[in-house]
């Protein structure tokens, strides 16, 4: 790589490199894995402990590298990857940012972790998140909030806020997140990095502590599109341990990078018009794409549907945390029933309790038909809207989020306002289709710093390759990833 020598002597600077830049250095013999880990640790210590207190990691004092002996030619050999706290790593405390899981040590690796280790990656650090991935700001974690490295007064987005923040802050090379209604893409947008929510079934969910099992997907958060494609290739694919993982061949996503987008058809769900979107349309047209308006009549109901379906599934998934088998238990309770009550009462935070109550309500007899069943019917209509749209276009373009990163505390008092920050990301989860957020520009409207804003490409099921093709063409034409300092 052209610029690589300028980083060698500056402590913490190797952490500024991308996966593909590091792979080049390993190939040249210019780098050792221990050297890189040492440098990354220095970067984490200096950034997490300084007065800005980004706190992307929940275990920054005690990160220990986990790796396997594999051939040096393996795809992610020597690449450190940070892992969201809802993914099981054997022998590590896995808490989902919740007090109720304090002390729970994973007995096994999630399949994505297995795949990363087999590809030579080094599991390096656990990242902060909203409790059980309930949230859009990373403020509901029992460890306290993570801050946005672009402006520490602001949230990094959520729920994978720690994963997006450490990648943007160069305290990680890349990170794993999970996305149920936007939790990879919205923080990627707020922090100015690249985040992919793959097709439902593309990546095994085995070892992901479930939030809403029909919506959850694991995906990569990276500094640029090339890294994202490399990373997804390693974690994608069928897994017999997850009955919802799909047995569909995984193409080489890197093959899609650099292909022309001449003649590709891109749909915009009018009436959304933002300067970022207008600019993106201009860029994509200049590269030969055809952009047309299309209608997705039922996505107006997506947030309402999501806040019935997701809490319903969450209330069922969280029933297993009762103080008996996992993590925290109130040992002073005088009876079994009181032990359940006290453990759950003390162990779950306010947002988790809200979701459990909402979900239990909409699943209870008498309300099931009115709420849950109704929501599932509308969900099918949303899926049908996407199926019809993809008969006409290759991908759909939208903003990732309705605003840039907001201030810490700004939406904490209003769950509804918080929920609305996922208005553009939720439809892809309900329909099960892939969606990718890339830096789309910056916003000055808040009067302060230039804040990044993401652009979202939504694709046909299992067509992540087309999203990488479009996003790479856009990235190369605009260079926002370089202007944001993601790639040097
Ligand atoms: N912000 C959404 C929620 O709170 C989505 C979270 C997620 O994708 N995990 O449910």
Q: How far apart (Å, rounded) are the C-alpha atoms in residues 301 and 305?
A: 6
Distance from the CA of 312 to the center of ligand 1, in angstroms? 13
Among 84, 184, 422, say which to mutate for ligand 1: greatest number of ligand atoms within 8 Å of CB.
Answer: 422
Distance from the CA of 194 to the center of ligand 1, in angstroms? 18
Q: How far apart (Å, rounded) are the C-alpha atoms in residues 180 and 306?
A: 9
The answer to whether the predicted template modeling score (pTM) of the entire model surpasses 0.85 is yes
Mean pLDDT of the chain: 94
- pLDDT tens by residue, 355-414: 999 999 999 999 999 999 999 999 999 999 999 999 999 999 999 999 999 999 999 889
Measured N-to-C along each axis, helices 302-317 and 350-363 cross at an angle, to the nearest 10 degrees, of: 100
- pLDDT tens by residue, 165-224: 999 999 999 999 999 999 999 999 999 999 999 999 999 999 999 999 999 999 999 999
DSSP 86-141: TB--TTSB--TT-GGGTT-B-SS--HHHHHHHHTT-EEEEEE--SGGG--SSS-S-
As to burial, measured by CB atoms within 10 angstroms (0-12 exposed, 13-18 middle, 19+ buried), residue 61 is: exposed
Domains and CATH numbers, the chain: 14-298+379-484 (3.90.1300.10)
Burial pattern 227-237, b for ≥16 Cβ within 10 A else e, equals: bbbbbbbbbbb
Ligand 1 contacts (CB < 6 A) are 133-136, 159, 179-183, 211, 310, 422
Alpha-carbon dihedral angle through residues 400, 406, 410, 416, given to the nearest 10 degrees: 0
- pLDDT tens by residue, 461-488: 999 999 999 999 999 999 889 888 898 8
User: What positions carry a catalytic annotation?
Assistant: 84, 159, 183
Which pair of structure tokens corresponds to residue 94?
């896995």
Among 157, 188, 310, 425, say which to mutate for ligand 1: greatest number of ligand atoms within 8 Å of CB.
Answer: 310
Q: How far apart (Å, rounded) are the C-alpha atoms in residues 419 and 180?
A: 13
Distance from the CA of 14 to the center of ligand 1, in angstroms? 32
Distance from the CA of 133 to the center of ligand 1, in angstroms? 6
What atom in ligand 1 is closest to the CA of residue 215? 8
- pLDDT tens by residue, 106-132: 999 999 999 999 999 999 999 999 999
What atom in ligand 1 is closest to the CA of residue 307? 10
Give the SS3 label for residue 291. strand
Among 137, 158, 306, say which to mutate for ligand 1: greatest number of ligand atoms within 8 Å of CB.
Answer: 158
- Do 270 and 147 contact (CB within 8 A), yes or no? no
Res 340 pLDDT > 80: yes
């Amino acid at each position: 790589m052209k610029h690589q020598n300028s980083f060698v002597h500056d402590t913490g600077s190797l952490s500024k490199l991308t996966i593909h830049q590091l792979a080049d250095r390993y190939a040249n013999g210019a780098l050792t894995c221990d050297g890189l880990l040492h440098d990354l640790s220095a970067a984490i210590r200096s950034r997490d402990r300084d007065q800005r207190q980004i706190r992307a990691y929940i275990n920054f004092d005690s990160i220990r590298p986990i790796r396997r002996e594999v051939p040096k030619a393996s795809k992610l050999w020597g690449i450190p990857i940070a892992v969201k706290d809802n993914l099981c790593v054997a022998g590590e405390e896995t808490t989902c940012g919740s007090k109720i899981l304090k002390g729970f040590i994973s007995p096994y690796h999630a399949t994505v972790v297995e795949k990363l280790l087999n590809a030579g990656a080094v599991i390096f650090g656990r990242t902060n998140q909203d409790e059980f991935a309930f949230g859009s700001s990373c403020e509901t974690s029992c460890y306290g909030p993570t801050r946005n490295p672009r402006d520490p007064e602001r949230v990094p987005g959520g729920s994978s806020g720690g994963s997006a923040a450490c990648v943007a802050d160069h305290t990680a090379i890349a990170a794993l997140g999970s996305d149920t209604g936007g939790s990879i893409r919205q923080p990627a947008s707020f922090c100015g990095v690249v985040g992919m929510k793959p097709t439902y079934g593309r990546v095994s969910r085995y070892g992901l502590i479930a939030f809403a099992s029909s919506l959850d997907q694991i995906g990569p958060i990276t500094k640029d599109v090339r890294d994202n494609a490399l990373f997804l290739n390693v974690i994608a694919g069928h897994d017999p341990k997850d009955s919802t993982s799909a047995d569909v061949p995984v193409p080489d996503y890197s093959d899609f990078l650099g292909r022309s987008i001449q003649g590709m058809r891109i749909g915009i769900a009018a009436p959304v018009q933002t300067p970022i979107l207008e600019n993106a349309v201009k860029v994509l047209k200049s590269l030969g794409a055809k952009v047309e308006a299309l209608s997705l009549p039922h996505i107006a109901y997506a947030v309402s549907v999501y806040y019935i379906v997701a809490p319903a599934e969450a209330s069922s998934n969280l029933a297993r945390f009762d103080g008996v088998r996992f993590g925290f238990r109130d040992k002073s309770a005088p009876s079994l029933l009181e032990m359940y009550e006290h453990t759950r009462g003390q162990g779950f935070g306010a947002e988790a309790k809200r979701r459990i109550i909402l979900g239990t309500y909409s699943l209870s007899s008498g309300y099931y038909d009115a709420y849950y069943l109704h929501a599932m019917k509308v969900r099918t209509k949303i899926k049908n809207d996407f199926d019809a749209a993809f008969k006409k276009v290759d991908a759909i373009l939208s903003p990732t989020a309705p605003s840039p990163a907001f201030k810490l505390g700004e939406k904490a008092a209003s769950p509804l306002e918080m929920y609305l920050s996922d208005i553009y990301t939720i439809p892809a989860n309900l329909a099960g289709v892939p969606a990718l957020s890339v830096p789309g520009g910056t916003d000055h409207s808040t009067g302060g710093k230039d804040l990044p804003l993401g652009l979202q490409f939504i694709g046909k099921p299992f067509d992540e390759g087309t999203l990488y093709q479009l996003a790479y063409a856009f990235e190369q034409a605009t260079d926002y990833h370089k202007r944001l300092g993601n790639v040097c």
